[in-house]
């Protein structure tokens, strides 16, 4: 009998990792994600595997976000040499995401080691390098949606569109043992149905076990029309104060959708006095990947409201400034007002957004807009929770900027969408809730029972169940 063990994202939002195991199957990981929050050089040495990486036969990856893929370089560094299965778009995005991640990590490590040397301490060795990222990419194998592929002699996987980001997948895992067939469905991250650039998540009906995310299990998102109107109001009020806007960017998915709606506001005359700046080399590269894939899809395959030949970077906002180099980024500091800056990272754990905070977070004319979930332990979460004093680059800063959250731009399904998706399964499969904080999962579990008479359990770290 096969088992699934919950090794990450059990009553937490980041670090997705689950291991399917049986004597015939061996060991297969569903995701190999990184915990997010804080300095990477300080955080990553505390990340360890509950298994020997060389014992893993294969990895099945739901999508390219780092909280689902970010530990793959460490996995190969410590001995994994199997196949990494993902969708074609995920494989393409993985190169951008992991290279950016390792560069940020090595930069953090360099700064940390300078401080250690000044204190007479030995420098830390990197736990993985660019060579490990290259090996991850060489081990990656791309698969289309809807076509089963073998992951072992007695097991197959089929990817279905999760509608979360480009290439995101619901994983349907089928195993044959002793003449019996068993199916486990892993939702990955399910998309928000209001996302204009994504399809709705695929509906499945058959499973023995369902692992479903519950990031927003305790609430629904604001309607997108209200969210866009809120964004318009924030822009106008910040312009009236003579300030600037900073938006921490999730480079994959959120940035592209945000650019689309800013383009709509531009066409309606709401950005005439604003310079929109995309200050994220990774987001720029990811948007190019989006353009590449969108241009290969016909209008029946994706909910685009523009001709297929259009480019997000070129056509949505004609005056969009792409800031690639550090010099470009530093030049933004000279803009006194009217700068709408989209910069990484989305949870403010690193990247250029922290440098822009350093220049403007203390200015009451400034506005910070959050467009996605902020995990516990991140600077973004501290700001959303109302923290008035923060530390940046070893210095204390008073937060005087206006802090706003736009819920409708979330790339995750809200509570009602999660309930609707899981309600389609027939035959009362075992439901396990993952990828959510405990309060959100408790609320979702209770709601499923009271509204749909569906029993849902909450996954516990390092526990396993049979299927």
Q: Is 145 left (phi over 0), alpha (psi -120 to 50) or beta?
A: beta
pLDDT at 310: 55
Copy the structure tokens of residue 113: 């080691």
CB 28 within 8 A of CB 152: yes
The topology under which CATH files domain 3-219+411-466 is Metallo-beta-lactamase; Chain A (3.60.15)
Chain position carrying tokens 């090996």: 135
CA torsion, ordered 103, 106, 346, 34, to nearest 10 deg: 100
Residue 225 CA to residue 55 CA, distance in Å, equals: 49
Residue 35 CA to residue 45 CA, distance in Å, equals: 12
CA torsion, ordered 350, 260, 65, 328, to nearest 10 deg: -30
What is the residue extent of each domain of the chain? 3-219+411-466, 224-409
Copy the structure tokens of residue 431: 């439901």
Nearest alpha-carbon partner for 374 in 259, 215, 242: 215
pLDDT at 305: 42
Q: Apex CA 323: angle with CA 317 and CA 324, to 5°? A: 130
Copy the structure tokens of residue 205: 């009906």
* Predicted model pTM: 0.88
What's the Rg (C-alpha) of the chain? 22
Q: Which helix (H) or strand (E) holds 404?
A: strand 402-405
- Helix (H, G, I), strand (E, B), or coil: what is residue 399? coil
pLDDT at 309: 43
pLDDT at 41: 66
pLDDT at 184: 98
pLDDT at 275: 93
Cα–Cα distances (Å) from 316 to 261, 266, 273, 369, 390, in that order, read 8, 8, 17, 20, 35
The topology under which CATH files domain 224-409 is Rossmann fold (3.40.50)
Residue 464 CA to residue 117 CA, distance in Å, equals: 43
Copy the structure tokens of residue 245: 């806007």
Chain position carrying tokens 């490590």: 109
Exposed, middle or buried, 442 (CB in 10 Å: 0-12/13-18/19+)?
middle
pLDDT at 292: 77
Residue 53 CA to residue 81 CA, distance in Å, equals: 8
Q: Split the chain (467 residues) into runs of 10 and give each run's mean pLDDT.
A: 94 94 94 80 78 97 95 97 97 93 88 92 93 98 97 96 94 92 97 86 97 96 91 96 93 85 90 92 88 60 46 74 90 94 87 93 96 84 94 92 90 95 97 96 98 97 94
- Helix (H, G, I), strand (E, B), or coil: what is residue 390? strand
pLDDT at 307: 41
């Amino acid at each position: 009998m096969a088992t699934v063990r919950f090794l990450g994202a059990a009553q937490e939002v980041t670090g997705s990792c689950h291991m399917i195991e049986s004597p015939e199957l061996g060991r297969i990981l569903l995701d190999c994600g990184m915990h997010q929050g804080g300095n990477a050089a300080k955080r990553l040495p505390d990340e360890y595997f509950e298994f020997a990486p060389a014992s893993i036969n294969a990895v099945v990856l739901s999508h390219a976000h780092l909280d689902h893929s970010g530990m793959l370089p460490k996995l190969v560094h410590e001995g994994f040499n199997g196949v990494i299965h993902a969708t074609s778009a995920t494989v393409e995005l993985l190169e951008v995401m992991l290279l950016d991640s390792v560069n940020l990590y090595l930069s953090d490590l360099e700064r940390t080691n300078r401080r250690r040397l000044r204190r007479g301490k030995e420098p830390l060795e990197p736990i993985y390098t660019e060579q490990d990222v290259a090996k991850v990419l060489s081990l990656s194998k791309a698969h289309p949606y809807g076509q089963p592929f073998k992951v072992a002699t007695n097991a197959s996987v089929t990817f279905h569109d999760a509608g979360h980001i480009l290439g995101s997948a619901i994983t349907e895992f089928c195993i044959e043992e002793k003449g019996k067939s068993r199916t486990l469905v892993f939702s990955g991250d399910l998309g928000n149905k209001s996302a204009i650039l994504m399809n709705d998540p695929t509906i499945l009906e058959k499973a023995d076990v369902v692992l479903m995310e519950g990031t927003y299990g305790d609430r629904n998102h604001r309607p997108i029309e209200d969210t866009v109107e809120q964004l318009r109001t924030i822009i106008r009020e910040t312009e009236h104060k003579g300030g600037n806007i900073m938006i921490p960017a999730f480079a994959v998915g959120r940035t592209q959708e945000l650019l689309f709606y800013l383009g709509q506001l531009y066409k309606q005359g709401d950005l005439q006095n604003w310079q929109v700046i995309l200050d994220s080399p990774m987001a720029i590269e990811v948007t190019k990947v989006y353009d590449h894939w969108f241009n290969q899809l016909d209008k029946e395959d994706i909910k685009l409201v523009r001709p297929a030949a259009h480019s997000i970077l070129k056509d949505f906002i004609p005056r969009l400034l792409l800031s690639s180099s550090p010099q470009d980024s530093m030049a933004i500091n000279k803009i006194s007002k009217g700068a709408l800056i989209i910069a990484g990272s989305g949870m403010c754990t690193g990247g250029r957004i922290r440098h822009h905070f350093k220049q403007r977070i203390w200015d009451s004319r400034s506005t910070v807009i959050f467009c996605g979930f902020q995990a516990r332990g991140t600077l973004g979460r501290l700001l959303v929770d109302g923290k008035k004093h923060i530390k940046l680059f070893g210095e204390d800063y008073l937060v005087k900027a206006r802090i706003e959250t736009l819920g409708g731009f979330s790339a995750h399904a809200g509570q009602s969408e999660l309930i609707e998706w899981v309600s389609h399964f027939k035959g009362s499969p075992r439901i396990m809730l993952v990828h959510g904080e405990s309060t959100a999962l408790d609320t979702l579990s209770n709601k499923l029972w009271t509204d749909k008479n569906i029993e849902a359990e909450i996954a516990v770290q390092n526990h396993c169940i049979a299927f």
